[in-house]
Structures are given as structure tokens and as C-alpha cells.
């Protein structure tokens, strides 16, 4: 039965339900997409986390141009930039009055520069909002862990919030306490994150100075981490959080991906991810910019899942966003623009089986009027209802976008989508939450009608916007695999043809056609793309680099662990792993490998365990090389910074050297673990 809509009688609007966003939070959510910029001493020391003992004189960009950052961000459709003003090493990108560890003691602009000031001006020029990251942890300060440091931290907050105009977001990292320089103490200092900083008082200070600033991260924040550094929200994603439990230490960070249906506070999710593996710039990652496929997935699984997307652009030693990062960003923006080029629902006939008070103010057509302040609403007692879009002629669709009117609360618990194809209704999707924005990618169907069924809602239904699109076919990049014996396999979707090169050049349809597994044992770079022959649409190019094959590698010794399965760390498969160390065999633990021949190496990689809840991650390491298994050279040592939050392949480089034997030492584990795991050990071979 289709509801008859009348505009004669005045109908009471829906009452708010549950926790509600502030206007500040609504404005923040509507930004959707904004940039992170990591640029500091770590850029010049090739680190992810500085220890705190690095000299400020190392900060010396050759061609710093914050207007280039702003232009790149603006052209990508992002709405703001959050600058890492101070990272864990304590170096400040503004001339803080409270420390000598800042740009005022660097060669850049002869110590007269103020990077925060320059970026604030560039953001204003390009119509962008400015956000700031201030690390609560400081591995340089001698007083870290003492009450005096909290005063120092707050003084710096006052500087940042008072001197640079409006700050849309203040970002506090969750990494707090651990080993550091601490004024020369070179020790580990542990603090209770929730108690030490007295966050309630700190937040009051922030809101007194800058009431329009949204505070993210630790403490009673107004937005939450999404629980990973992969830029992905859960398919179910509530903007609510049991924050009282979180502040009492009763919420595991993995719950942040989905939020809490019964949360007592509105704390929406922000998905943060870097366009490269690391957060800071490393030249070795110039060819490791995230593939277009992954970037597109990230967009749909962050903004398309009721989160905002904070995309990191690691500025290089010149002081510029690197060309490779710019190119990938342009590809992403172009793809998304094409996906959402034409809303096919604008000319449809729209109806619903319930309309609040049968009043035109809440009619079904409100979901298509492009007014964010209007919405289709149901009567108070109606928590399930359907809305139907009838096309003038059968129309292809493969994207569906939905938005709730969140100012009155997030309500929808379950919904599904149907399409009428050849006079029959077929099911396209069964989903849970909507929130501010939900985007579905579905297989293309040619439909005469589209139906959205809200199956369950906490209260009456309020939907402000529904759109549908026929996005171009997206051909996924092929996956390249090589085993320890040098056997190369390239896989693509369906029957797509694959073309590849092994000389570093970009492949075309005149390159080698992949016909099956082939063997290539030398160090090489392979590039490949797939093509959909029916629509003549190509994928982006996949690139993979390999050292010489590992067929002659042998594990010579391992200080503990199951020696029957130890070859998993050199089998070329990152999905297999091996562990050593336990309560009897305390860390450090080591393993020695014979590579079978003398190679020119200039680095190594450690791939941590990839599958499971407890990944047994290594935090500190040593790496040695030898020509004869007698005399050993320490080539690299230190920490795998941020591996807990981002357990990806860890890359360490050193000066080129010849070696036949390598020794990897796991010195310590994340947390209090005694067992550590390795999925794969690789060397970086000079090509």
C-alpha cells in the first residue's frame, strides 16, 4: 500500500533519539576527506619514530613549499590539512617559547622559520581548514613522566591554539610512554595515559581557548580512531561509543572499527591511513605508493562506511609532496569522480509505504532533493519501511549511496536493497548501519525499479539522501607472486588477459602476454596490468621487485623454536609464519641464514605474522652480515616503530655491502611477550 501524502495538516517533527552530534561534529563529518602531513626530523633521519636525541640542525628542507601541499590537497577535493606539529621525538615545527628543540635551532630559514604559521596562511589562501597533531609523548624531554612535563605540554597547546587562527581538529596520538632519550637518561618510562595527562583539565583548557576545535584521540574525545591504520571502518559502524567504559580501560581498540550500538556518547570514527607504507617519507618507498585498487577500496570502506578519511601525504626532504604520491592521488580522485558522475535516481518516481503523518514535509521525494536538512521520515511507531524508485526505462546501476539525518540521531540497524529486473525483484545487498553516509558497491544490474527496505531501526526512520550510479567497470590490478624457487605466478579477475615486462618498463598490449607460471631466479622488477577484453578497459599497473630467488637459502642455526618448520620464514609466502622464544628461551633470540652465494645487499625486510589476533610482533632488532660465517658486521639495529598499530613489512636499509650469510636478532617484543614470530625475512639486493 503506497501512502497518500498531504500537505494540509501540520505534523510534529520527529523527536531526537539517543546520543546526538554537536554542530561541531556534524561540520567535521561533512568534511569527509582531509589530509595528514608527516614532516619533521624523521624525514631527514629516515625513521618512523625518532628517539629524541636527533639534532635540530638535521632539519633542512631544500625547497619547502606549503602552498604546493595546499594546492595538491585542494585539487584532490580534500577539505583540510592536519599537520604533525610535534612528533614523539619532541622536535617542534614552530618556534616554541618553551623549548630549544624546534625550527628556531635548525638551518631552515636561518632559524627564523615557522612552518605552522606558513601552513596556516596557505590553508587560508586555498580555502582549507587547518588541524594540528601534538604528540603527548616526548622522547626528548628530561621531565617526561613528571608533573612538570604536563605543564610544558599544555603550554605548547596554548601556543598552537592561540597563535595560528582556527584549528578544526586537535589530534592526540595514543602512543605514550616507552623508551627514549629523555634528556640523556636513555631509559624506559611508563605512564598511565588516562591519568598522567589529566585529560579532563586539558580538554577544558582547549575548549576555553578554542571552543570550535574538535579533539580527537586520547581522553574524552569527540571523535575516535577507527582501530587500525589501514583506513578501513567496519561494515557495521555506529557513531556511538561507550566512552565511560573506554576511559576505564574496558574497551579494546578493535571495537573502534564498529563503535557501540548502545554507546552513551556520540564519538564518530576517523579512518587514518598513509598513501605509503610509512607515515614519514622514505626514499625506498617511492615505488611503494599504495596501488590504485587499494586506494579506491579505502575510500569506499571509510567515507562509504560512515567514517571520515584522513589520508597521510609524507612530505619529502625537499619539503614537497612527492610526484608519485600526487600521481596516485590524481588517479584516485579521477576514479571516484567518474563513479559518482550522474545520479540515476533524479528522474525517478519515488514512493514510500509510510510517510510521517502523510505530510509532504516528510515525503519520500525528500531523499532526492539535494537538501541536507530535509528527510523522508516515518511515523513514530514505524521502524521498518520501504522506499521505491521507478525508472522511466531499465537503467544500469552498481553504486548506491544512503544518508541518515544524523542531527536527530543514528537509527538504522539493518537494511536491504532489491532491484526489479525483468519484472522480478532480486536481492542486491543485506547490510546493517547507515549513519552519515553509506555507499554500497554492487554487481551491475539493469533495473526498472530500485527498492530500499529499512528492516530495523531504533526509532522512526529518517533518511536525508539516497543516490544511485552506474560507475565504470573497475578492472583490478593483477597479483604477482614468486616462490622461493623463482616460480612467478600472476593472477587476475576472471578471464582478463595479463601483459607484463621484466625490464622495468611500463607494459602495453605489445608486451609479453602471460600464459602461465614462468621461472625467473635473478633479482628483477616486474610490472603487469590486466585488461577486460569485452569493454577494453585496463587496470592500473602492478609493480613487484624481487631479489635473487631463495632456492639455495638454508637456515643454519636458530636459538630456539621448531626447527622442522623454520623454513617458513624463507618460503616466499608471507601468510606462513614461524615463532621462537618462550618462557625458558628468553629474548633476545637469533637466526642465521646461508644465502648460498655472495650477494650485493643494502637492506633487509621483516614481514611480521599476518594472520591471528596475537601477532607476536618484534619491537627491537639487530641485523648482521658475513662473508664467511665467522666475522660478522652489524649492519642495522633499532626499533620497528609503530609496528603494533601498523604490522606491515618493515624495511631497513644500510650501506651497500657483500654478504653470503645474514643473522637476524629479535631483541624484544611488543608488550610483555616472550615469543616472537616471523612471516618472512628478505634482503634488499642492489639491482
DSSP string, 22-76: -HHHHHHHHH-EEEEE--SHHHHHT-SS--S---GGG---SS--HHHHHHHHHHT
Among 56, 355, 22, 368, CA closest to 221: 22
In this prediction, residues 157-180 reach a mean pLDDT of 95
For 623-669, write each residue's pLDDT tens digit: 999 999 999 999 999 999 989 888 999 999 999 999 999 999 999 99
Side-chain-side CA neighbours of 58 within 13 Å: the count stands at: 17
- Asked if the model's pLDDT at residue 4 lies above 80, the reply is no
In this prediction, residues 554-563 reach a mean pLDDT of 96
Q: How confident is the model at residue 1 (pLDDT cuts 50, 70, 90)?
A: very low
- Asked if the model's pLDDT at residue 392 lies above 60, the reply is yes
Residue 495: Cβ within 10 Å count:
9
Apex 395 CA angle, 390 and 400, nearest 5: 80
For 408-443, write each residue's pLDDT tens digit: 999 999 999 999 999 999 999 999 999 999 999 999
Residue with the larger pLDDT of the pair 641 and 127:
127
Strands 187-189 and 214-217: what pairing?
Answer: unpaired
For 593-610, write each residue's pLDDT tens digit: 999 999 999 999 999 998
Apex 253 CA angle, 252 and 258, nearest 5: 100
For 218-234, write each residue's pLDDT tens digit: 889 999 999 999 999 99
Residue with the larger pLDDT of the pair 436 and 613:
436
**What's the pLDDT at 10?**
87
Mean per-residue pLDDT over the chain, rounded: 95
**What's the pLDDT at 687?**
64
Burial bucket for residue 225 (CB in 10 Å: 0-12, 13-18, 19+) = buried
80 and 168 Cβ atoms separated by less than 8 Å: yes
Q: At what angle do helices 147-163 and 115-126 cross, to 10 degrees?
A: 40
* Residue with grid cell 621462537, as numbered in its chain: 580
In this prediction, residues 14-30 reach a mean pLDDT of 98
State the virtual CA torsion across 77, 75, 229, 25 in degrees, nearest 10: -30
Say if residue 324 is preceded by a cis peptide, omega within 30 of 0: no
How far apart, in whole angstroms, are the C-alpha atoms of residue 273 and residue 293?
Answer: 15
- Asked if the model's pLDDT at residue 202 lies above 50, the reply is yes
**What's the pLDDT at 673?**
86
Among 610, 602, 591, CA closest to 547: 602
Amino acid at each position: 500500500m503506497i501512502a497518500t501524502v498531504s500537505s494540509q495538516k501540520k505534523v510534529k517533527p520527529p523527536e531526537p533519539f539517543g546520543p546526538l552530534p554537536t554542530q561541531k561534529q556534524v561540520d567535521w563529518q561533512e568534511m569527509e576527506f582531509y589530509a595528514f602531513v608527516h614532516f619533521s626530523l624523521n624525514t631527514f633521519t629516515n625513521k618512523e619514530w625518532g628517539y629524541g636525541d636527533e639534532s635540530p640542525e638535521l632539519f633542512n628542507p631544500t625547497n619547502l613549499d606549503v602552498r604546493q601541499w595546499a594546492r595538491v590537497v585542494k585539487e584532490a577535493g580534500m577539505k583540510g590539512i592536519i599537520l604533525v606539529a610535534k612528533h614523539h621525538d619532541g622536535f617542534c615545527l614552530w618556534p616554541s617559547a618553551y623549548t630549544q628543540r624546534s625550527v628556531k635551532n635548525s638551518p631552515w630559514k636561518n632559524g627564523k622559520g615557522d612552518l605552522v604559521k606558513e601552513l596556516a596562511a596557505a590553508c587560508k589562501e586555498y580555502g582549507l581548514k587547518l588541524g594540528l597533531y601534538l604528540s603527548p609523548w616526548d622522547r626528548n624531554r628530561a621531565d617526561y613522566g613528571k608533573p612538570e612535563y604536563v605543564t610544558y605540554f599544555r603550554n605548547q597547546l596554548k601556543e598552537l591554539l592561540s597563535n595560528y587562527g582556527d584549528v578544526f581538529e586537535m589530534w592526540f596520538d595514543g602512543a605514550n610512554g616507552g623508551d627514549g632519550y629523555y634528556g640523556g637518561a636513555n631509559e624506559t618510562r611508563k605512564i598511565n595515559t588516562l591519568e598522567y595527562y589529566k585529560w579532563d583539565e586539558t580538554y577544558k583548557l582547549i575548549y576555553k581557548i578554542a571552543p570550535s576545535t574538535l579533539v580527537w584521540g586520547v581522553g574524552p574525545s569527540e571523535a575516535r580512531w577507527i582501530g587500525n591504520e589501514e583506513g578501513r571502518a567496519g561494515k557495521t559502524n555506529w557513531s556511538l561509543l561507550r566512552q565511560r567504559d573506554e576511559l576505564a580501560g574496558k574497551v579494546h581498540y578493535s571495537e573502534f572499527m564498529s563503535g557501540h550500538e548502545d554507546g552513551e556518547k556520540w564519538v564518530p570514527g576517523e579512518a587514518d591511513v598513509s598513501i605509503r607504507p610509512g607515515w614519514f617519507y622514505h626514499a625506498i618507498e617511492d615505488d611503494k605508493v599504495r596501488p590504485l585498487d587499494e586506494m579506491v577500496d579505502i575510500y569506499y570502506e571509510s567515507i562509504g562506511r560512515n567514517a571520515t578519511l584522513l589520508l597521510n601525504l609524507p612530505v619529502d626532504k625537499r619539503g614537497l609532496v612527492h610526484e608519485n604520491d600526487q600521481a596516485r592521488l590524481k588517479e584516485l580522485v579521477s576514479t571516484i569522480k567518474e563513479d559518482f558522475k550522474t545520479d540515476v535516481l533524479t528522474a525517478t518516481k519515488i514512493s514510500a509505504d509510510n510517510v510521517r503523518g502523510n505530510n509532504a514535509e516528510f515525503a519520500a521525494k525528500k531523499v532526492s532533493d539535494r537538501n541536507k536538512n530535509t528527510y523522508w521520515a516515518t511515523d513514530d511507531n514505524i521502524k521498518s519501511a520501504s522506499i521505491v524508485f521507478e525508472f522511466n526505462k531499465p537503467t544500469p546501476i552498481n553504486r548506491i549511496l544512503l544518508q541518515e539525518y544524523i542531527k536527530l540521531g543514528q537509527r538504522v540497524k539493518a537494511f536491504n536493497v532489491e532491484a526489479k529486473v525483468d519484472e522480478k525483484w532480486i536481492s542486491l545487498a543485506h547490510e546493517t548501519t547507515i549513519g552519515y553516509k553509506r555507499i554500497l558497491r554492487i554487481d551491475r544490474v539493469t533495473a526498472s525499479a530500485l527498492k530500499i527496505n529499512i528492516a530495523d531501526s531504533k526509532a522512526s526512520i529518517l533518511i536525508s539522501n539516497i543516490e544511485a550510479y552506474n560507475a565504470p567497470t573497475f578492472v583490478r590490478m593483477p597479483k604477482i607472486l614468486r616462490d622461493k624457487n623463482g616460480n612467478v605466478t600472476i593472477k587476475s579477475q576472471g578471464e582478463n588477459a595479463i601483459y607484463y615486462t621484466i625490464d622495468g618498463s611500463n607494459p602495453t598490449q605489445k608486451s609479453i602476454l602471460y600464459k602461465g607460471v614462468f621461472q625467473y631466479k635473478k633479482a628483477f622488477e616486474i610490472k603487469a596490468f590486466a585488461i577486460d577484453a569485452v569493454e577494453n578497459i585496463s587496470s592500473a599497473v602492478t609493480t613487484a621487485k624481487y631479489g635473487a630467488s631463495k632456492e639455495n637459502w638454508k637456515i643454519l642455526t636458530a636459538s630456539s623454536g621448531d626447527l622442522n618448520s623454520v623454513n617458513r620464514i624463507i618460503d616466499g609466502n608471507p601468510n606462513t609464519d614461524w615463532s621462537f622464544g618462550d618462557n625458558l628461551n628468553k629474548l633476545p633470540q637469533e637466526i642465521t641464514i646461508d644465502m648460498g652465494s655472495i650477494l650485493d645487499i643494502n637492506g633487509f625486510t621483516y614481514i611480521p605474522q599476518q594472520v591471528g589476533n596475537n601477532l607476536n610482533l618484534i619491537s627491537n632488532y639487530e641485523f648482521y652480515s658475513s662473508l664467511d660465517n665467522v666475522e660478522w658486521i652489524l649492519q642495522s639495529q633499532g626499533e620497528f616503530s609503530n609496528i603494533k598499530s601498523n604490522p606491515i613489512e618493515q624495511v631497513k636499509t644500510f650501506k651497500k655491502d657483500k654478504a653470503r650469510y645474514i643473522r637476524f636478532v629479535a631483541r624484544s617484543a611488543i608488550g610483555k611477550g616472550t615469543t616472537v614470530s616471523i612471516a618472512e625475512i628478505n634482503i634488499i639486493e642492489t639491482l
